[in-house]
Each structure stands twice: as C-alpha cells, then as structure tokens.
Amino acid sequence: MKQKLLLSILLLGILSFSVNAQDVEKEKEYELGASVKYWMAGDMYFIQDVKKEGGIFLNAYADYNIVPKFAVGAYFNFGPSFSVEEADQTGQFTEIGMQLKIRIFAGSIKICPALQIGYRGIKIEDIKALKTDGFAVNMNTDIVIPTNSKILLVPSIGFLAQPVGGNDIGDVTFAPIPYIGFGIAF
C-alpha cells in the first residue's frame, strides 16, 4: 500500500512539472531516446525448455515523425548479461531493427505504442555452439512526459519475443516476456 502511494505521489510530481505534449511536438521532426529496462523472468526454448532469470538491458532509438500521429524509426537493444536458472553460464543479446510507432496525445503526456521487428543475436559465454540468431518481434509502449526543458521523461512497458531462431544445433524461441523501463528522449 505504501509503495503504491509513493509511486502515485512521484508520478503526480513528475506530471506537475510537465508541459502540453502537443505544444512541444509541433516543431519536432525527429526524436532520439535511450533507456534502461528490466526484462522479467520467463520461459525460453533454448534447445530445451529453460527458465530465463530477470535482468537489465539497454535500449536506444531514433524516430522520424512522418505525420503528427505516426513515426517510423530504428531501435537497438543490448542485454549485457542474462542467465538461465538451469546453467552456470551467462549470456548476452544484441538486437537491431525498425519500429512503427503511433503517437496518441493525452493532455500533457503522449502515449506511443510501437511494433518492433528486427534481428536478435544471442551468445552464451564460452560456448560457440550456443551462438544463435533470431527474428525479434517486440511491442513497446512509451509514456512520454514533456518537461520545461528539452529532455522528455519516458517510462515504458512492453515485451520481447522471438518466434523463430536458433542455429545448426537447434531452435531458440520464446513467447513474449514482459519488461518495464525508464529513459529520456530529446
């Protein structure tokens, strides 16, 4: 209960320093952003069924605003370390792709759901056989909060999924695994 109250007060405080999102967006042609995200634990098929532990990954993006409510862009994700409960090794992933983003203006904030499609490489330390490639299909929703400066605050939620992937030894796939994050944009 105390955590919910604290989170509500924090969000209200952030919104009190914000400005109208549409006023800021009238002059912007592009948006650049970066964030830190926590990828929650989930099930993966990594040549066998395994449980992935939660971990941090980094995200960067660049969007070009085609029309006032639609943007096209590129994104990059890097997970410096993730681990599987059943193994002692840790792994990392890199991902690059394109995103299609809808921009919904709601008073002083902007809600931006985006479909991300890209290439994901996963590598497990010291085991060449466990270097895999995959097709990334993600959903990301940013809540963009403008401030009185040029920096925008960007909490986000979404999921990472890999419907197809693997190597010569076997498949590496996973259903959507959620994440939460916080970042900034310009």
Annotate 100-128 with DSSP letters as a single string. Answer: EEE-EEETTEEEEEEEEEEEEEEEETT-G
Inter-CA distances, 16 with 24, 61, 111, Å: 16, 26, 17
Residue 81's pLDDT band, with cuts at 50, 70 and 90, is confident
For the chain, list the domains and their CATH numbers: 2-185 (2.40.160.20)
The tokens of 34 are what? 């970066």
Average confidence (pLDDT) over 86-102: 89
Residue-averaged pLDDT of the chain: 86
Q: Which of 24-38, 99-113, 145-159 has the lowest mean pLDDT?
A: 24-38
Q: What is the pLDDT of residue 45?
A: 87
Give the tens place of pLDDT for each residue, 5-24. 655 665 555 554 444 455 55
Instruction: Determine the Cα–Cα distance for residues 30 and 168; give it in Å rounded to an integer.
Output: 40
Structure pTM?
0.82
Average confidence (pLDDT) over 73-79: 97
Residue 32, pLDDT above cutoff 70: yes
Torsion of CA 78, 81, 84, 87, to 10 degrees: 140
Residue 158, pLDDT above cutoff 50: yes
